[in-house]
Amino acid sequence: MSNPDLKQIEQFLYREASLLDQPDLDQWMQLFTEDGSYWMPAMEGQSDPLNHISHIYEDRVMMEIRRRNFVHPRSASKEWPVRCSHLLGNIQLQNQTDSGDLVVTCNFHVIVWYREEQRVYAGTCEHHLLAEGDDYRIRHKRVDLINPEAAQRSMVIYL
């Protein structure tokens, strides 16, 4: 795809968000490349996922462990239903990485229903997308909360 189509990219991000809304981690994971990763930094403007703490920094192996854990019948924190509603906005195509992935940023508001409580998360996302035919796969997803340094409550799902 030589001319990235923003409309198509938006559709892809909406599809990803709706898989997390359900949540369907099984299908969601499939959107990632084999070397794909998910990162939620614990600090504003964090540049390093390895030498600084993060809330989440996981590759496909850890995603699969999390998926299995998520549906395991013996996990007390998962006995509560989790449902989310993602709203994405301000979706912008930024540039390309050295390896040619498209860098797309957006704002998000997520309302999460968990443990009889409705919670709001907000921030920005950065996706590195690999164009594959008419479709995309996620090489990297970075989720920056507006309050990464705040004390956070238990959360059992990716945002």
**Which chain residues interact with other proteins by CB under 8 A?**
40, 42-43, 46, 50-57, 61-62, 64-66, 68-69, 72-78, 149-156
What are the CA-CA distances from residue 101 to residues 22, 36, 121, 122 (Å)?
27, 12, 27, 25
Minimal distance in Å, beta carbon 82 to other proteins? 11
Residue number with CB closer to other proteins (120 or 151): 151
Within 8 A by CB and 6+ apart from 4, the residues are 93, 102, 131
Place of tokens 């594959």: 132
Residue number with CB closer to other proteins (17 or 102): 17
Minimal distance in Å, beta carbon 124 to other proteins? 17
Residue number with CB closer to other proteins (102 or 143): 143
The span from the CA of 9 to the CA of 131, in Å, is 10
Minimal distance in Å, beta carbon 47 to other proteins? 12
The span from the CA of 63 to the CA of 153, in Å, is 20
Minimal distance in Å, beta carbon 48 to other proteins? 9
